[in-house]
């Protein structure tokens, strides 16, 4: 099978970690008889430097003409002082909208080998951590109207968090369908005691749930959910929530698993094309030092194989290789502990390739 993959190498540690992910994909192609063709699609800080645009039309066209997109991470202090429309993150928002990617899936799984790296005490994580945050991606406050004006002699700013029924319906279906493949539990997170958008969110999610009688639906306020994630994370299977809440909760979820460098994510729309990326940032402070953890990027390629290319055996091969890597005592710097073997970014990629 031949697949076209758009490659966004990104900024900071981005080029380092995506190089290891591509090496893993090449090994999978060799083992399973596939062909993966890569096309560069500059975005973020790199694209600002080259084209004065965080997402040139040529890069968006490359992504639209590909079967899927791999993205490392974008941004950094070098571009902190550019105008709002030129910031690297604007390219990412435009890419999601341009590809119609409204559902972001972020798994939070605690590897047994990394229990000591979790900030939570053993009594809390004894039942394990294994859930998915399904975040609505192209609505809410991030895509609403943003205004700043003078009122009574001082600056006044507001950001509109708005949702339509169809936007909530489609993300709810993703959450319930994801739960059907897991433990059949969905927790919908909102602030329906205060916000009108959340009242509509709860109403629509409850209605969609009627189509999935095999899935148990519960509701939770976002502040309580933030507390429950550190108090009893094992209670969750699938969490579905709106854009801003999902951004915050998924970052919290990543940290309780021990290392943000281990967590992949996928952004999906109505078709099979997806955007796959680790959830961490570009970490410019360690760029070019061979210190980055490429595992979140590598596991993102496994998600791509599973969800966009319907290659479950190939995805399993990558995930099992990562499990073997950890069980044999190898660690990157962010997850290092006493008695383990420290490897840099390149050696981590080579070791995982060797285990496929």
Question: For residue 286, what is the domain's CATH number?
Answer: 3.40.718.10
pLDDT reported for residue 113: 85
Are both 315 and 227 inside the same structural domain?
Answer: no
Q: How far apart are CA 205 and CA 168, in angstroms?
A: 7
Q: Quick one: 280 and 248 in the same domain?
A: no
Domain end residue (candidates: 221, 256, 291): 256
Note whether residue 262 is domain-resident: no
Same domain, 124 and 229: yes
**Interatomic CA distance for residues 340 and 330, integer angstroms:** 6
Which residue has better confidence, 354 or 80? 354
Q: What's the total number of domains in the chain?
A: 2
pLDDT at 115: 84
Find the mean pLDDT for residues 51-57: 96
What pLDDT is attached to residue 51? 95
Residue 42 lies in a domain: yes
DSSP string, 38-100: EEE---THHHHHHHSSSS-HHHHHHHHTSSEEEE-----GGGTTS-GGGSHHHHHHHHHHHHT
Of 211, 230, 256, the last residue of a domain is 256
When pLDDT is cut at 50, 70 and 90, the band that residue 49 belongs to is very high
DSSP state of 216: E
pLDDT of res. 235: 97
> 111 pLDDT exceeds 90?
no
Q: Rounded mean pLDDT of 244-251?
A: 94
Question: Sign of the CA dihedral 299, 301, 304, 305?
Answer: negative
Whether pLDDT at 255 is above 90? no
Query: What pLDDT sits at residue 184?
Result: 98
- Clarify whether residues 234 and 314 are in a common domain: no
- Whether 144 is in a domain gets the answer yes
For 66-73, what is the mean pLDDT? 96
pTM of the model: 0.86
Do both 82 and 199 map to the same domain? no
Q: What percent of the chain has pLDDT over 70?
A: 100
Residue 182, pLDDT score: 92
In a domain, 8, yes or no: yes
Are both 33 and 129 inside the same structural domain? no
Give the pLDDT confidence score for residue 271 in this predicted structure: 86
Q: Which of 256, 280, 312 is the last residue of a domain?
A: 256
- Residue-level pLDDT at 335: 83
Determine the straight-line distance between the first and last CA of the chain, rounded to whole angstroms: 19
**Full residue range of the structural domain in which residue 241 is found:** 119-256
Is the domain of 98 the same as that of 151? no
In a domain? residue 218: yes
Tell me the CA distances in angstroms from 346 to 14, 15, 209, 323, 356, one per residue in order: 13, 11, 45, 18, 16
Both 204 and 170 in one domain: the answer is: yes
232 and 322 together in one domain:
no
Across 102-120, average pLDDT: 89
139-145's contacts with Cβ under 8 Å and 24+ in sequence apart are 139/102, 139/163, 139/164, 139/167, 139/242, 139/243, 140/197, 140/242, 140/243, 140/244, 141/243, 141/244, 142/93, 142/243, 142/244, 142/247, 143/93, 143/97, 143/243
- Predicted local distance difference test score (pLDDT) of residue 216: 98
| pLDDT at residue 308 tops 90 | yes
Domain co-membership, 142 together with 170: yes
For the chain, the average pLDDT equals 95
Give pLDDT, residue 192.
Answer: 98
Q: How confident is the model at residue 251 (pLDDT cuts 50, 70, 90)?
A: confident
Indicate whether 216 and 153 sit together in one domain. yes
Among the residue ranges 38-47, 91-100, 203-212, 330-339, the one predicted with the least confidence is 330-339
124 and 252, same structural domain? yes
Asked whether the predicted pLDDT for residue 84 surpasses 90, the reply is no
| pLDDT at residue 259 greater than cutoff 90 | no
- Please give the share of the chain, as a percent, with pLDDT higher than 90: 84
What would the pLDDT profile of 164-211 be if each residue is shown by its tens digit? 999 999 999 999 999 998 999 999 999 999 999 999 999 999 999 999
Please give the average per-residue pLDDT across 221-242, as a whole number.
97
Domain assignment present for 112 = no
Structure confidence at residue 112 as a pLDDT band (50, 70, 90): confident
| β-bridge partners, 158 | 147
* Angle, vertex CA 112, rays to CA 110 and CA 113, nearest 5: 110
H helices present in the chain, as ranges: 14-32, 45-51, 57-64, 88-99, 122-125, 165-180, 196-209, 222-231, 243-256, 295-307, 312-327, 345-354
Cα–Cα distance for residue pair 59/337, rounded to 1 Å: 41
Catalytic residues: 142, 191, 223, 247, 251
Count of C-beta atoms within a 10 Å radius of residue 323: 14
pLDDT of residue 337: 81
A 10 A CB-CB count for 9 gives 22
Res. 267: pLDDT tops 90: yes
């Amino acid at each position: 099978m031949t697949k076209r993959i758009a490659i966004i190498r990104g900024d900071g540690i981005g080029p380092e970690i995506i190089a290891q992910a591509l090496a893993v994909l090449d090994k999978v192609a060799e083992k399973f008889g596939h062909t993966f063709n890569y096309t560069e699609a500059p975005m973020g800080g790199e694209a600002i430097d080259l084209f004065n645009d965080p997402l040139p039309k040529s890069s968006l066209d490359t992504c639209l003409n590909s079967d899927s997109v791999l993205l490392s991470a974008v941004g950094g202090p070098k571009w902190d002082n550019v105008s709002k429309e030129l910031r690297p993150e604007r390219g990412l928002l435009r890419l999601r909208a341009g590809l119609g990617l409204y559902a972001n899936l972020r798994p939070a799984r605690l590897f047994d080998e990394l229990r000591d790296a979790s900030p939570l005490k053993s009594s809390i994580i004894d039942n394990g951590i294994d859930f998915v945050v399904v975040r609505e991606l192209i609505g809410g406050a991030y895509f609403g109207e943003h205004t700043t004006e003078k009122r009574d002699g001082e600056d006044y700013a507001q950001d509109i968090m708005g949702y339509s029924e169809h936007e909530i319906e489609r993300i709810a279906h993703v959450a319930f369908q994801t739960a059907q493949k897991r433990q059949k539990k969905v927790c919908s997170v909102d602030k329906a005691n205060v916000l009108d958008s959340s009242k509509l969110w709860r109403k629509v999610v409850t209605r969609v749930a009627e189509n999935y009688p095999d899935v148990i639906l519960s509701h939770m306020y976002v502040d309580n959910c933030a507390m429950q994630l550190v108090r009893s994370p094992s209670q969750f299977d699938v969490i579905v929530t709106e854009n801003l809440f999902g951004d915050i909760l998924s970052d919290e979820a990543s940290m309780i698993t021990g290392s943000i460098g281990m967590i992949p994510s996928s952004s999906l729309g109505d078709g099979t094309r997806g955007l796959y990326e680790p959830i961490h940032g570009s970490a410019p402070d360690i760029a070019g030092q061979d210190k980055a953890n490429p595992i979140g990027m590598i596991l993102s390629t496994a998600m791509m194989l599973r969800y966009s290319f319907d290659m479950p055996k190939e995805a399993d091969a990558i995930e099992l290789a990562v499990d073997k890597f950890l069980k044999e005592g190898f660690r990157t710097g962010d997850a290092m502990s006493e008695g383990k073997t420290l490897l840099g970014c390149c050696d981590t990629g080579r070791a995982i390739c060797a285990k496929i």
